[in-house]
Chains A and B, each alone.
Chain A
């Protein structure tokens, strides 16, 4: 039985790891994410539809407010990136953070989070949607997460979307290469 378990575990690891040999982004190029409907609540106040983000390049990150390590690190990195961008690019790009913990991340909590992290409301959008909306959006981008009440686990990945909401590039991990991110964002803002 032990050997069977070991063999099965090996198969499972092979299957699981095999997945990563496929293209990491399940969404094919050229299709706008903004086709996903539904109303999203902004931190603080107001609602918006994702389609209203059309026209602006977006850096997109999934996060949750009570996250202690990955999310603050990534938000910190994105703020560092913000400071590094040429003025024109910085004024145009939007930093969009979507919570994967909509139950606890109320609009008030998101607003408090934005204040604590000193996120400029002119450039940073913190969004909350119904759980099924969040699952659809993450699924479209191949982002996995599990919300187990007190515990959340998720893929740490930053996405760059063009003016039409089409994925241009993504970066994995908690310390994305800021130089290449800055170049990519600047290029995206210069594209018509």
Chain B
């Protein structure tokens, strides 16, 4: 079983994303940019077939056995059974209906990890501010605004300049630093409640022209780590050195 998994995991090409910086949308006081070291990122999201190999080797992640602390009831609800994809889940489609805990465990088992928000955003950056960038931004926004139907096969979209595919237009993706996106500007002064950031955060946000990035942040802050949703998948990353 382990051999099968190793084989499936080995089939994913990883691409080098050069070092750069990420400007958080809701910076903390005194925080401007986050330096990102060079890293490796899977070319495409993890597929149903690959995730099936994983649960075969790790029965604690079977739909019928997973701890409710780690995954909501909708976990793998589009599969026909514990070890059967069925008509609702093509082997080559990105796996969805997986929780943050499940995604974290999968990548760890593959000797990898989830990318951080800064890493993912760096890999998905839309460079420049010319008409091409505006057009790219428009397409991303159109995708976010559309009801999603059938998921495409993983890896079918054109590559980014770094060779990474499916960053846009396929699924949202879990990131390693759940809960880091949106916070009170300064939790130490907010009175502490999670809702403390509500009014002020948007006003404090930088770079309002990065609409699509704001939508991702809003989406990320709306999901809990147990959630297992349609159109929320993941891919893995590794340190560059």
Contact (Cβ within 8 A) B218 A26: no
Contact of A16 among B68, B101, B178, B197 (CB under 8 A): B197
Contact residues of A between 16 and 43, Cβ < 8 Å to B: 16-20, 22, 24, 26-28, 31-33, 35
Contact of A31 among B68, B101, B193 (CB under 8 A): B68
Q: Chain A residues near B198 (CB, 8 Å)?
A: 13, 16-17, 20
Does A90 make an interface contact (CB < 8 A)? no
Does B184 make an interface contact (CB < 8 A)? yes
Contact (Cβ within 8 A) A140 B192: no
Contact (Cβ within 8 A) A13 B28: no
Task: Quote the shortest CB–CB distance from A162 to chain B (angstroms).
Answer: 14
Q: Chain A residues near B178 (CB, 8 Å)?
A: 135, 139, 144
- Interface majority SS on A: helix, strand, loop or mixed? mixed
Contact (Cβ within 8 A) A148 B31: yes
Does B158 make an interface contact (CB < 8 A)? no
CA distance A151 to B183 in the complex (A): 12
Contact of B199 among A13, A31, A142 (CB under 8 A): A13
Contact (Cβ within 8 A) B188 A139: no
Contact (Cβ within 8 A) A28 B222: no
Binds A, one of B120-128, B146-154, B162-170, B200-208: B200-208
Question: Which residue, of A26, A33, A68, has the highest number of chain B Cβ atoms within 10 A?
Answer: A26
Contact (Cβ within 8 A) B186 A153: yes
CA distance A155 to B193 in the complex (A): 7
CA distance A31 to B67 in the complex (A): 8
Task: Quote the shortest CB–CB distance from B153 to chain A (angstroms).
Answer: 30
Does B29 make an interface contact (CB < 8 A)? yes
Binds B, one of A4-12, A45-53, A121-129, A183-191: A4-12
Give A156's nearest chain B residue, CB to CB.
B192
Does A80 make an interface contact (CB < 8 A)? no
Contact (Cβ within 8 A) B180 A145: yes
Contact of B28 among A1, A146, A174 (CB under 8 A): A146
Does B2 make an interface contact (CB < 8 A)? no
Selected A-B contacts with CB under 8 Å, 11 pairs: A9-B208, A15-B219, A18-B222, A19-B222, A69-B189, A135-B177, A146-B180, A148-B28, A154-B183, A155-B183, A173-B192
CB within 8 Å of B: which residues of A?
1, 4-5, 8-13, 15-20, 22, 24, 26-28, 31-33, 35, 67-70, 132, 135-136, 138-140, 142-148, 150-157, 172-174
User: A-B pairs with the 9 shortest C-beta distances?
Assistant: A156-B192, A144-B179, A26-B224, A139-B225, A9-B202, A173-B192, A31-B69, A146-B180, A151-B28
